[in-house]
DNA sequence: AAGTGGTCTAGACCACTCA
DNA sequence: GAGTGGTCTAGACCACTTA
């Protein structure tokens, strides 16, 4: 009875904490600055460390913070816009600031979801090329590109072991193909162990999974599954510059 | 010394738990089926409830599970593909299975990020229209549409109170505008309290935030910020059907 | 009223980074 | 080796749904 009848919707502590911290980040901290450690922050706000961590996790999810084990928690820079919906760097391994780099390639049977898109069966291994997308020294995305043998007929003789040279050969053959279109989708996922290593994150970190289906010669020529760091990336679609084209 | 030298990379318990549960979901459970409650699952696997919850949280993030307070944890259906990159239902309040529905409209000064896109200043209030996107009875997205008065000149006389009628009036005026293009971006966020209510989720739930900048008459005609449920939605871009167009 | 998931605590130990 | 964030525990209570 002593309790006031207000506060009938008691906001969770971690939620309130999050907004307080968020405001503090805006007004009192600069990008890159290191926050006090979790134990001290928890003490300062009078909550258990687990509760404080719940707030920090959300802020990290929103791209406001960056946490690294053994180092500390820092204020993250604004998310970078990453073009995903244009054809500019499709197969080329350009040397610009934002470019894909081959890692290696093996021959393997793709996961069921990819098999469905490629319309292949469990007996058909495909070329599986791993690439990374790097910008300003930061890894943005890790990609697995699935190419059925039918899309790269010139590669039949080259059935040596996997590796970087092989990956480049697949891409070279692929670039000969005439593409007619493509479909893309974006969904939330968590990083597999191998992707996490590539992205410099812990396994399970939130990622944006971009699945691209390349269509050429009336068939699905290839499927790419790219996982982008959800904390640092804002994926951009549509024609940047299309504005001027259409307006002019 | 007694400890074996193997297991040098001890996988976290919750991570191992996640894969075990994931496999079980594939083989032993049907969509919609209810899992045992958290306390029992934790006991069954010999871990603390918090650890079990960490695994469940990840599976929910990946769209494999659906948890509802007071009810239980159920196996989620596969994510629905939601078209985001086409012009079909831009302003129309169609009555199909997948359609936008107006909620209301007020006049307000937009957040700083939107002001930057609209190129307005803190003294300029804009029309702020709230819409919801529903498919098969399930709410998919909540949207806030920001329309500067310059884009809807016909509305000057109609400066009454907010509400549904007003929202429809704004959209009607907006549809007269000739659009020249648009830009979109996708990023991860967490649901604000109002969006969460609209989406039938708890505040802080992970969402995919789609920001669309509509360009018409050489200016930014409007900006839409739509938040999609990250657990249930797979956003699709690019021309579905463009394949046939280009191939034929 | 019973049962569910959501929040919170106060500890402990581990893995990692860096001086 | 000191300090950081990451994992884990064993409890408690709360908010919500359903019957």
Q: Where are the beta strands (DSSP E) in chain A?
A: 65-68, 72-75, 80-83, 98-108, 126-135, 138-147, 181-190, 206-216, 219-229, 233-237
Q: Which nucleotide is nearest to B48 (CA to C1')?
A: D9
Extract the tokens encoding A149.
Answer: 């043998």
Among the listed residues A89, A212, A196, A235, the one whose alpha carbon sits nearest the alpha carbon of residue A145: A212
On the 0-12 / 13-18 / 19+ scale of CB atoms within 10 A, B190 is: buried
| Final residue of a structural domain among B21, B50, B75 | B75
Question: Is the same domain home to B27 and B114?
Answer: no
Task: Give the 3-state secondary structure of residue B14.
Answer: helix
The integer distance in angstroms from the CA atom of B233 to the C1' atom of C7 is 27
CB pairs under 8 A between A and B: 125
pLDDT of residue B240: 46
Domain boundary among A52, A75, A98: A75
Domain count, chain A: 2
The C1' atom of C5 and the CA atom of A207 lie apart, in whole Å, by 26
Same-domain check for residues A71 and A182: no
**CA-based nearest distance A198→chain B, Å:** 17
Asked if residue B92 is part of any domain, the answer here is: yes
Residue B83 per-residue DSSP state? E
Domain identity same for B53 and B85: no
Count Cα neighbours of B90 within 13 Å in the Cβ-side half-sphere: 18
The series of mean pLDDT values per 10 residues for chain A, 248 residues long, is 44 95 94 96 97 97 95 95 74 74 90 92 92 87 92 69 81 84 92 91 93 88 95 83 36
Q: Strand C nucleotides below 7 A of a protein CB?
A: 2-12, 14-18
What local confidence, expressed as pLDDT, does residue A240 receive?
46
The domain that holds B89 is classified in CATH as 3.40.1410.10
Q: Which CATH number does the domain housing residue B26 bear?
A: 1.10.10.10
What residues contact B90, with CB distance under 8 A and at least 6 apart? B179
Q: Name every chain A residue with its beta carbon within 8 A of the beta carbon of B236.
A: 183-185
Contacts of B240 in chain A (CB under 8 A): 183
B18 vs B52: CA distance, rounded Å: 9
- B206 close to B190: Cβ distance less than 8 angstroms: yes
Q: Where are the beta strands (DSSP E) in B109-149?
A: 126-135, 138-147
Q: Is there a contact between B237 and A184 if contact means CB atoms under 8 Å apart?
A: yes
- Other C-beta atoms lying within 10 Å of the C-beta of residue B39: 10
- Cβ neighbors of B244 (< 8 A, separation 6 or more) are none
Residues A120 and A20 in one domain: no
**pLDDT score of B130:** 93
What is d(CA A62, CA A22) in angstroms, rounded to the nearest whole number?
10
Q: What is the pLDDT of residue B59?
A: 97
Assess contact for A32 and A74: CB atoms under 8 A. Answer: yes
Chain A residues lying within 8 Å of B189, measured CB to CB: 61-62
A70 and A153 both lie in a single domain: no
Same domain, B62 and B111: no
Q: Residue B61 has what DSSP assignment?
A: H
* A90 within some domain: yes
What is the model's pLDDT at position B241?
41
Residues of chain B with pLDDT under 70: 1-9, 86-89, 94-95, 156-162, 239-248
For A23, other C-beta atoms within 10 Å of its C-beta total 10
Per-residue flag: B67 CB under 7 A of strand C: yes
Chain D positions with any atom < 7 A from a protein CB: 2-12, 14-18
Answer whether residue B30 is part of any domain. yes
Residue A108 is part of which domain span?
Answer: 80-247
Nucleotide nearest to A11 (CA to C1'): C7
H/E stretch holding A19: helix A13-28
B230: helix, coil or strand?
Answer: coil
How big is the CA angle at B56 (ends B51 and B59), to the nearest 5 degrees? Answer: 135
One domain, residues B165 and B67: no
What is the reported pLDDT for B217? 76
User: Residues B161, B39: one domain?
Assistant: no
Half-sphere exposure of A67 (CA within 13 A, CB side): 16
Query: Does residue B8 lie in a domain region?
Result: no
Average pLDDT, chain B: 86
Answer for the pair A70, A24: CB distance below 8 angstroms, yes or no.
Answer: no
Within a domain: B197: yes
Distance A9 CA to D10 C1' (A): 29
For residue A220, being part of any structural domain is answered with yes
Angle between the N-to-C axes of helices B38-45 and B49-61, in degrees from 0 to 180, rounded to the nearest 10? 110
Residue B2 lies in a domain: no
Give the residue from B29, B55, B75 where a domain finishes.
B75
- Domain identity same for A114 and A203: yes
Query: Rounded distance, CA A212 to CA A226, Å?
Result: 8
Q: Which residue is nearest to nucleotide D2 (CA to C1')?
A: A70
- CB within 8 Å: B187 and A79: yes
Are A93 and A45 in the same domain? no
Q: Please check whether residue A7 lies inside any domain of the structure.
A: no
Mark whether A164 and A43 lie in a shared domain.
Answer: no
Residues A133 and A224 reside in one and the same domain: yes
């Amino acid at each position: 009875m002593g309790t006031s009848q207000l506060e009938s919707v008691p906001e969770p502590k971690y939620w309130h904490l999050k907004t307080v911290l968020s405001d503090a980040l805006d007004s009192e901290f600069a990008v890159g600055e290191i926050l006090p450690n979790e134990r001290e922050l928890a003490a300062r706000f009078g909550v258990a460390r687990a509760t404080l961590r719940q707030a920090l996790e959300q802020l990290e999810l929103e791209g406001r913070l960056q946490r690294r084990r053994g180092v500390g928690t820092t204020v993250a820079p604004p998310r970078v816009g990453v073009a995903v919906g244009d054809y500019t760097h499709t197969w080329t391994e350009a040397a610009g600031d934002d470019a894909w780099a081959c890692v290696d390639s093996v021959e393997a049977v793709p996961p069921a979801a990819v098999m469905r898109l490629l319309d292949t069966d469990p007996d058909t291994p495909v070329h599986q090329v791993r690439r990374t997308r790097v910008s300003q020294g930061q890894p943005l995305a890790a990609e697995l590109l699935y190419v059925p043998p039918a899309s790269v007929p010139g590669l039949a003789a080259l059935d040596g072991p996997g590796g970087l040279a092989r990956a480049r050969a697949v891409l070279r053959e692929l670039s000969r193909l005439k593409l007619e279109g493509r479909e893309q989708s974006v969904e939330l996922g968590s990083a597999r162990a191998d992707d996490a290593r590539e992205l410099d994150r812990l396994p399970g970190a939130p990622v944006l999974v971009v699945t691209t289906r390349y269509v050429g010669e009336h068939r699905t020529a290839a499927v790419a599954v790219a996982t982008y760091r959800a904390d640092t990336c804002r994926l951009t679609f549509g024609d940047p510059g299309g504005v001027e084209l259409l307006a002019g």
